[in-house]
Amino acid sequence: MTSARGTGPDTGIKSTDTLISILEVLQSRDGAGVTEIAEELDRSKSTVHSHLQSLRAHRCIRKDGTTYRLGLRFLSFGGHACNRTGLLEIVRPEVDGLVEETGETAQMVVEEHGRGIYVCQSRGAEAVRTDSHVGTEVGLHCTAVGKAILAHLPEDRVREIADRHGLPPRTDETVTDLDELFAALERVRERGYAIDDGERIPGIRCVAAPVRTDDGVIGALSVNGPTKRLEGEYFREKLPSLVGRAARVVEINATYA
């Protein structure tokens, strides 16, 4: 069984391990007190307290009364991370365009360390409210964006990712078998786009197209919405063509920038 000290890897600088585990607790609870964190991580209150003090001195967390919360400084770090290539500038108009054309939710997801991260999202007026937003992490095997990305990664890379993160089921529809996943990826390559039919959230369908440059896949664009609105010819023909076109525009702008 895994150690009582959270779930993170125990490697390199130990203080960093505890630091990150504290951040993870803050993230999972939307803020917490010293005792709460200490118990969760099975560490002394004083240890947690001094870490929190240090993080606060660096403006990484904020203290509202007696509860500590993640700070906005991480947005600053993260913003730099995904804006360094000017990617957002290129992506936003296309994501907004997809929302205008469909009225649903559209987003751009980028792969990093075998996980998908939303870097841009736009929601239509009638769009369903999901819990996802910029910064949300998703597994690659259970989302359309994920499969669109995986389909264009080298096979051993896919195995490595599946090995590292597993294929945890999110709903009854989630692909949990590696061979089955590879078959799905083959279909994605044939069609040029990926779909997710309730594999992450029941009742939610999603169409995604990969965004590829000379460096390989840099991410995927997608539109998602309720199954009842996304069906028939619209779901099978129109939506893939809209998403695909947007993805190609991003590709072109990304390669000449």
Partner DNA sequence: ACGAACGTTCCTCGTGACCGAACCGACCCG
Partner DNA sequence: CGGGTCGGTTCGGTCACGAGGAACGTTCGT
User: Under the criterion CB under 8 A, does residue 31 sit at the interface with a second copy?
Assistant: yes
Distance between CA atoms of residues 204 and 228, nearest Å: 9
- The nearer residue to DNA, 49 or 115, going by C-beta atoms, is 49
Distance between CA atoms of residues 104 and 101, nearest Å: 8
User: Under the criterion CB under 8 A, does residue 8 sit at the interface with a second copy?
Assistant: yes
CB of 101 to a second copy, least distance (A): 16
User: Under the criterion CB under 8 A, does residue 69 sit at the interface with a second copy?
Assistant: yes
Q: Residue 35's binding partner, choosing from DNA, a second copy, none, with beta-carbon cut-off 5 to 8 A by kind?
A: DNA
Distance between CA atoms of residues 191 and 194, nearest Å: 8
User: Under the criterion CB under 8 A, does residue 73 sit at the interface with a second copy?
Assistant: yes
- The nearer residue to DNA, 48 or 142, going by C-beta atoms, is 48
Q: Where are the beta strands (DSSP E) in the chain?
A: 61-64, 67-70, 105-112, 115-123, 137-139, 194-197, 204-213, 216-226
The bridge status of strand 67-70 relative to strand 105-112 is: unpaired
CB of 251 to DNA, least distance (A): 26
Residue in the structure block whose two tokens are 């209150």:
45
By the 8 A CB rule, do 250 and 90 touch? yes
By the 8 A CB rule, do 219 and 211 touch? yes
Q: Residue 128's binding partner, choosing from DNA, a second copy, none, with beta-carbon cut-off 5 to 8 A by kind?
A: none
Region 131-160 residues binding a second copy, contact defined as CB under 8 A: 133-137
By the 8 A CB rule, do 108 and 91 touch? yes
Q: Residue 238's binding partner, choosing from DNA, a second copy, none, with beta-carbon cut-off 5 to 8 A by kind?
A: none
Residues that bind a second copy (CB under 8 A): 8-9, 11-13, 15-17, 19-20, 23, 27, 30-31, 50-51, 53-55, 57-60, 62, 69-84, 88-89, 92, 110, 112-113, 115, 117-119, 122-123, 129, 133-137
